Structure 1
Amino acid sequence: MLIGIDPVLTPDLLRHLGAMGHGDQLVIADANFPAESCANRIERLAGASATEALRAILSVMPLDTYVDAPARSMQVVGDPEAVPDIVAEFQRIIDEVADHPAQIQSVERHEFYREAKKTYCVVQTSENRFYGNIILSKGAIAPS
């Protein structure tokens, strides 16, 4: 255990978050997400929800300010304008916790999978709500 570090963040996940560079991306995924076929690196947070993972990750990782969409979620199949409850909760967490809050942009399901394959890491949670997936782009920490 560490002081000030959310216990949801495992040692391996902290290593990955620290190793990621500016512009690298990660997926926070629900339990149904095809992580094995989408990822080179997978970290599993057994027992954690996607919202708990998002809150913990944003407590230590800056969001990218140099891209139009540093936070992207999967569109609802057949209803791309819908905002699932979990995505609304993601937005509230980003607004509360992120160093530079950003509006979540939605991405068509198959495009989301293609984008997920390019990410540094997939963090698979035990989230059982549908559409509990989000891609985050890591920002830079300015010199003090």
Structure 2
Amino acid sequence: MLKTQLLHPEILMELGRNGHGSKILISDGNFPVNTCTPQTAKKVYLNLTPGVLNVVDVLKVIKNFIPVEKAYIMQPPDETPQPIHHEFKQILDEDTPFEALKRYEFYDIAKTPDVCLAIATAEVRRFANIILEIGVIRPE
């Protein structure tokens, strides 16, 4: 038994296999994970039923296991701020830069070979997708 908050074996393996510059997608229930991520990305489906395991739940755990250098979020066509984006900013370090992208720009990032892990959740809120870019561990 592991003494950690992250127990999912496939997620642990991918986090351990990748490093600086690699990207992790945590998607809502509407994101086309299978067709909008590279073939090389490990795809993990945590979408059992609508609303059960959401993006925020996953983000809260993942952020404790990797240094986040940058985050990309998907914004709606009218660019109105989404409440979930505020939640993302509260969860991540206040110094983490965020880049808001329109849907197809976000898809372009999600399709790059740097995306090593794609986690599909059952999040029901729209535009609740985030890509985390792994940073470096700084010497103390």
Q: What TM-score does the superposition give when structure 1 sets the normalisation length?
A: 0.83
Structure 1 or 2: larger strand share?
A: 2
In structure 2, the residue matched to 1:56 is 61
Which structure 1 residue ranges, 4+ long, deviate > 6 Å from structure 2? none
Pairwise CA distance, 1:104: 2.0
Structure 1 or 2: larger helix share?
A: 1
Q: What TM-score does the superposition give when structure 2 sets the normalisation length?
A: 0.86
Q: Please state whether the residue corresponding to 2:137 is helix, strand or coil.
A: coil
The structure 1 residue matched to 2:21, chosen from 20, 23, 27, is 23
- What is the CA RMSD across the aligned residues, in angstroms? 1.6
Pairwise CA distance, 1:102: 1.2
In structure 1, the residue matched to 2:103 is 109
The structure 2 residue matched to 1:132, chosen from 107, 117, 128, is 128
Q: Please state whether the residue corresponding to 1:36 is helix, strand or coil.
A: coil
Gaps of 5+ in 2: none
* Residues 49-78 of structure 1: per-residue CA shift (max 9 Å, x gap): 1001111000111112xxxxx10101112x
Pairwise CA distance, 1:25: 0.6
Distance (Å, rounded) in 1 between the aligned partners of 2:55 and 2:12: 16
Gaps of 5+ in 1: 65-69
Q: What is the count of residue pairs matched by the alignment?
A: 131
Distance (Å, rounded) in 2 between the aligned partners of 1:121 and 1:130: 21
* Identity percentage of aligned residues: 34
Pairwise CA distance, 1:103: 3.5
